[in-house]
Amino acid sequence: IRLKFPNLPVLHCGTLKRQDYFPMELLRLSDKVQRVKRRLTPFQIAKLIR
């Protein structure tokens, strides 16, 4: 794939063992929002803020 905007940031997904990076120009956002129905732990909140 030849990227039109190779200098855009990438989206980091995955785990520590397998890290995946996706170019921003290949992503599409969904209009369906995934809600968390339970309270987040302090660790999860800290990861969101970083």
Burial profile 3-36: b = 16 or more Cβ within 10 angstroms, e = fewer: eeeeeeeeeeeeeeeeeeeeeeeeeeeeeeeeee
Residue 39, domain member (yes or no): no
Identify the pLDDT of residue 45: 86
Residue 6 domain flag: yes
pLDDT at 31: 81
In a domain? residue 23: yes
**pLDDT computed for residue 21 by the predictor:** 92
- pLDDT in the model for residue 22: 93
What pTM was estimated for this model as a whole?
Answer: 0.51
Phi, psi of 22 (to 5 degrees): -120, 130
Tally of domains in the chain: 1
Q: Is residue 48 part of a domain?
A: no
Give the domain extent around 9. 1-28
Q: Per-residue pLDDT tens for 1-50?
A: 899 999 999 988 888 888 999 999 998 887 877 776 788 899 988 888 86
